Amino acid sequence: MLIRNRLVASLGASLLGAAALVALPTPAQAANLLTDPGFESGALTGWSCSGGTGSVVSTPVHGGTKALAGAASASDNAKCSQTVAVQPNTTYTLSGWVRGSYVYLGVDGGGSTWTASAPSYQQLQLSFTTGASQTSATVYIHGWYGQGTYHADDISLDGPGGGGGTDTQAPTAPTGLQATGTTSSTVSLSWTAATDNVGVTGYDVYRGATKVSTVTGTSATVGGLAANTAYTFTVKARDAAGNVSPASSAVTATTTPGGGGGTGFKQAAPYLYLGWGNPPAPATVMNATGIKTFTMAFILSSGGCNPAWDGQRPLTGGVDQSTIGAIRAAGGDIVPSIGGWSGNKLGPNCSTPEALAGAYQKVIDAYGLKSIDVDIENTDEFENAVVQDRILNALKIVKAGNPGLRTILTFGTSTTGPTSWGNRLIEQSKALNAGIDVFTIMPFDFGGGADMYGNTVNATEGLKNKLKSVYGWDDATAYAHIGISGMNGLSDQQEVTSLETWTKIRDWANAHHLARLAFWSVNRDRGCAGGGVTETCSGIAQPDWEFTRITAGFTG
C-alpha cells in the first residue's frame, strides 16, 4: 500500500511539473462523448469489461435506474473501458461517481484519480490533454485486486468529439467474421476491422437479433450458451458520432458437448441456516475445517414477488448480510438457496419469468453473487409444470444479464435417478435453453435402513444418464454438471449417513469429477448420539464440524 501511495504521489508531481512548462489549450464547449454513460441501456453498451467482470445493476445507483458493478477479484481488477474519438491537442475533463474500496477513474496515457474508500457514491474528476496527432482516447474505471465489487455511475467525458459534430458517415461493415473456438458454453469470434472516415470506436456483437456484447477490438467471446447448440452471430461497427455500420456476414457455430470440460465449476458448500438451530459463527467453522463456501438458506417471498431471508428478514442491513460479510472477511463466499420444501416461495408468487428474474436479480445485486441455487421442491414448485418453466426462464434471463453467473438447480430424487418431475425439469431446461450449470440431487429420505452410499451412487448415475440422453453429453461432461446434497447423520426417515459413508460419497464425487457437494446442515454438524432428528446436532456420535471438514476435501 505504501509503495503504491508513493507511486501515485510521484506521478502527480510529474504531471504538475509538466503543466508548469506547457501552455495547455482551453477546453472546447463541453459535451459528453461517452456511449451509455449512466448504464441505462442495461447492457454495458459501448463498454468493455475485463474477464466478464462487469454487469449492470439496479441498486445502488447514483442517478437514473442503473449503474455499473465491477466484480474485482484476487486475479482481476474488473477494468471497464470505452474508446471514443477525440480531437488532437485538446483538453478534456473526465468525471464519474464511484462507490467501493480503491476505485480508479482514468484515461490510458493521460493519468488517473482514485479513492481508497467510498462507502457511498463519491465523484472523481481529472483533466487531460490529447497529443498533437491523437484522434482517440480510452477511458476506464476499475477496482483493485481482492477489494470486492465496486459500483460506478454517470461517467462523463466532456469536450469536442473527434467527428467535429458533423460526421454522418457510417463505418463499413466488418468483414471476415469467423468462429475461432468453442466450448460447451462459449463461442469465440474474430473479424477484420471496419473502416471509417473519422474512426471506429467499437463493435456490437449480435446473436441472432440480440446484442450480446460490445467490444473495442476485433474479437469477442460470447458466453452463457447451451452445450451442443448452434448459434448465429453478426457484428456491426460504430463510430464516435453514433453512426452504425451494416451487419457483417453471418457465421454459425455449434457449442461442443463438453468432452469432459464441463462447466469448470466446483463448489463444496454445506448449508448454513440462520433461522434456527443455534447457527455457529462461520469463521469458527472455516478455521476448524478449511471450508470456504456456504449455501445460505432460505430466500423466500415476503409477500408477492419480494425476496427476503425466510420471507421475513431484509436482504441488507440485518444478520444475514453481516454473516455474509464475516464469511467474506475470512476469505470465503456464499451461494444463496432460493426456495426449499416449505414456506411462501417466489416461484408461485412471481407471475412471470421476467418478474421472477427481477426478484433473483435483487438477491444477486445485494451481494454481488457469483452463483445462485434454486431449491425446487414440493407441489407448489417442483410438481407444477407452469412454475418449473417460470423458474427455468427466469434463470435464463439472469444468466444472460450477469456474465459469469453460475446457476444451480437442487431437487429430490429416487434411488435410481430423477423422478418423472425431475425428468421433466431436465428436459425443459434443454428445450428452453436455460443454460443450467449444475443439477444437484438430494439423495435421502428414501426410508429407514437405506444403503446411503449405494443409493446415492445409483441416483447420481441415473441423473448422469438422463443428462446424457437429453443434452447429448458424454459421461465426463454429464458428471461435471452434477451436484450431490446429502443429509448428515440421522435423516427425517431415520436413515443414517455416517462419517464413513459421507467420506465414501465425497471420494466417489471427486473420482467422478462432480461439480458440487453439499449437505444439510452445518447447524446439525455436532454430535449428539441418540439425540434424534434435531436442529442443532446430527443425532449420532461425531466430533463437531466433522461432516464439514470432510466436505472441504471435495475438489471435483
User: Catalytic residue at 377?
Assistant: yes
Which among 158, 185, 149, 143 is positioned nearest to 57, based on CA atoms? 149
Catalytic residue among 377, 381, 495, 546: 377
- Number of helices (H) and strands (E) in the chain: give both, helices first: 11, 27
Task: Examine residue 60 and say whether the peptide bond preceding it is cis (omega within 30 degrees of 0).
Answer: yes
**Residue 516 CA neighbour count, 13 Å, CB half:** 31
What is the residue type of 31? A
* Calpha distance 437→456 (Å, rounded): 20
Residue 554 burial (C-beta neighbours within 10 Å; 0-12, 13-18, 19+): buried
Q: CA-CA distance, 489 to 539, in Å (whole number)?
A: 6
Residue found by looking up cell 444468466 in the block = 399
Q: How many CB atoms lie within 10 A of CB 19?
A: 12
d(CA 222, CA 231): 10
**Upper half-sphere CA count for residue 135 (Cβ side, 13 Å):** 11
d(CA 343, CA 356): 17
| Contact in structure between 132 and 89 (CB atoms under 8 Å) | yes
State phi, psi for 499 to the nearest 5 degrees.
Answer: -60, -40
Active site residues: 377
